[in-house]
Amino acid sequence: MKLPSLLLLCLPAGLMAQPKPTTTFTINLQHKAQVIDNIGASGCWFSEGIGKYWPDAKKEQIAQWLFSKATSPDGSPQGIGLSAWRFNIGGGTTEQGDSSGIKDFRKRVECFQNPDGTYDWNKQAGYVWFVKKAKAYGVENLIAFSNTPPVQFTKNGRGFKTVKDYQTNLREDRYPAYAGFLADVLKHFDKEGLHFKYISPVNEPQWDWSNKPGEASQEGSPWHNADIYKISLALDSALSTQKLSSQIMITEAGTLDYLFRNNSPASTQIQQFFGKSSPRQLSKLAHMAPFVGGHSYFTDAGDTNRIRVRQQLRDTARQYGVDFWQTEYSMLADGFREGTRGRRSAIDCALFLAKMIHTDFTVANASAWHLWNSYEPGNPDFDTRYYLISLKPNDTHTDGEFQQTKGLWAMGNYSRFIRPGMQRIVTTRSDHRDELGASQHIMLSAYSNGQQLVVVAINYTTDTQDIQLDVKHFGKIRSLRKYQTSGAAADNLKAYPLPDIKHPINLPARSVTTFVLDK
């Protein structure tokens, strides 16, 4: 029943509709934080089948979604413009077949070096196809990483451990051989015009990587800090001998707290490898990258814990004068469910992914952010927790179907517009929420190269929200563009007109919106 206007005037103020408050975000370009080196993803496991066998039209579309910086006629991006691509140098488990002990044939990887020491550069053809596509699309950073030394160099002749002793699987007399192998691979691709700017010789060294033959899920090896120090020295020497410019990236810690907490023989890695008085100090090596890499897995449960871990990481890295790269993340545990049960929708997963990127940039001061994995089998509508593109391959992985996910475009809100060399700008907000208070509300971050300002806003609420952007010390704005990812079917980083920022801007419920301002 409609109330008479006179009666409405008599209602208590608390019962009348109140205007929704507008949150003002001040972006002062004189308040700068870390420089962003790149935003990327891994193309592991399924690259081989797609790149080697799938029809051209299908794999070209996948590459476009990942790498393209072009726009459609309506101004919407055709891809998410990754600025880094991670390439896995295999250990030779594919050649071993079922005797490798890795149960899923798609997660076995070929090795460029044969057991007799010769090389076959036709190996990993599918993986290399994607590296070439990344290069063709202008991806700025190619990164090579290894999960295991070649099986001919391991203690048990396998690409994983069969004994849970947390000891490296690399034979004691094969450190120079493993380092030489990695340098040979880099040199070959340099000659092919595919320069890997970084080489990562160990991956998640804290895990035991042990399993019964036939039950292993992938290649892997543990490493103590003493082992990492030793292989880093050998690799630095090998790179110098081959006159290569690639830099060594360490340590790809399995979780972020291993980088600063003393909780395993492969922990306190910032202190041990970047401490000036540490006997394992590596930062002075000719080829050592000036950052430490860690994975955001298993530190995503609960906003309080997620933020606290990253604050401690930031403070430790700052104390030891080293940058931090987040080099792998997907929703391996149940933190992304945030206390709910059952399946999470695609937009729920996309928003949680955006939250993780936001927190790693704004709290941990990450200089780079990489996703694991670009594509995997799954449902594009629910629990898209592991991938950006969902696959439905045939039994032999020689063809299949694929679909984009909301996570692809949510990540694109960052990767497409925050380009290498941009610097994060510290922002303040009128509602005085800290990072914890913002975690279920509006999260906003800003980045600039002096000529362009990129602002990414996450509306984590189930209501529309109004924000005001107060930009200081940027200069006269020539153009402003808006790109949006939401639960709406058409909102996949869709371009929207936005004439100016003088008035409040509406953020749709459960959405990620990027604003690009040009001088």
Q: What is the pLDDT of residues 182-221, one digit of tens each?
A: 999 999 999 999 999 999 999 999 999 999 999 999 999 9
Is it the case that residue 10 has pLDDT exceeding 80?
A: no
Amino acid at 160: F
Q: What is the mean pLDDT of residues 407-436?
A: 98
Q: Chain centroid to CA 513: how far? A: 19
pLDDT in tens, 42-75: 999 999 999 999 999 999 999 999 999 999 999 9
Q: How far apart are CA 220 and CA 91, in angstroms?
A: 9
CB atoms within 10 A of CB 57: 7
Domain assignment present for 209: no
Q: How far apart are CA 196 and CA 250, in angstroms?
A: 15
Q: How far is CA 496 from CA 76, 323, 485, in A?
A: 8, 36, 11
Is it the case that residue 8 has pLDDT exceeding 50?
A: no
Helix (H, G, I), strand (E, B) or coil at 280: coil
Q: How far apart are CA 144 and CA 142, in angstroms?
A: 7
* pLDDT, position 13: 52
Is it the case that residue 17 has pLDDT exceeding 60?
A: no
Domain assignment present for 247: no
* pLDDT, position 86: 98
Helix (H, G, I), strand (E, B) or coil at 24: strand
Amino acid at 375: Y
Strand partners, 293: 325
Which range marks the domain in which residue 314 is found?
Answer: 22-82+305-519
Helix (H, G, I), strand (E, B) or coil at 226: helix
* pLDDT, position 516: 97
Strand partners, 393: 400
Q: How far apart are CA 198 and CA 287, in angstroms?
A: 9
Q: How far is CA 299 from CA 255, 331, 387, in A?
A: 7, 10, 18
Domain assignment present for 513: yes
Residue in this structure with the two tokens 């629910």, named with its chain if needed: 382
* pLDDT, position 14: 52
Helix (H), strand (E) at residue 237: helix 225-241
Contact between 91 and 146 under an 8 Å Cβ cutoff? The reply is yes
Domain count, the chain: 1
Paired tokens of 346: 């695609």
Domain assignment present for 152: no
* pLDDT, position 4: 45
Domain assignment present for 161: no
What is the CB-side half-sphere exposure of residue 424 using CA atoms within 13 A? 25
Q: How confident is the model at residue 308 (pLDDT cuts 50, 70, 90)?
A: very high
Q: How confident is the model at residue 7 (pLDDT cuts 50, 70, 90)?
A: very low
Q: How far apart are CA 158 and CA 213, in angstroms?
A: 9
Give the contacts of 490 (CB within 8 A, at least 6 positions apart): none
Our CA dihedral for 149, 150, 154, 158, rounded to 10 degrees, sits at: 110
Is it the case that residue 122 has pLDDT exceeding 70?
A: yes
CATH code at 445? 3.20.20.80
Domain assignment present for 126: no
pLDDT in tens, 359-404: 999 999 999 999 999 999 999 999 999 999 999 999 999 999 999 9
* pLDDT, position 479: 87
Which residue in 253, 367, 252, 261 sits closest to 313, CA to CA? 261
Return the minimum-mean-pLDDT range out of 9-13, 80-84, 328-332: 9-13
Task: For the chain, give the mean pLDDT.
Answer: 95
Domain assignment present for 461: yes
Domain assignment present for 249: no
* pLDDT, position 264: 87
CB atoms within 10 A of CB 82: 30
Q: Chain centroid to CA 417: how far? A: 15
Alpha-helical regions (H) of 82-151: 93-96, 125-136
* pLDDT, position 12: 53
Buried b (16+ CB within 10 A) or exposed e, 97-111: eeebbbeeebbbbbb
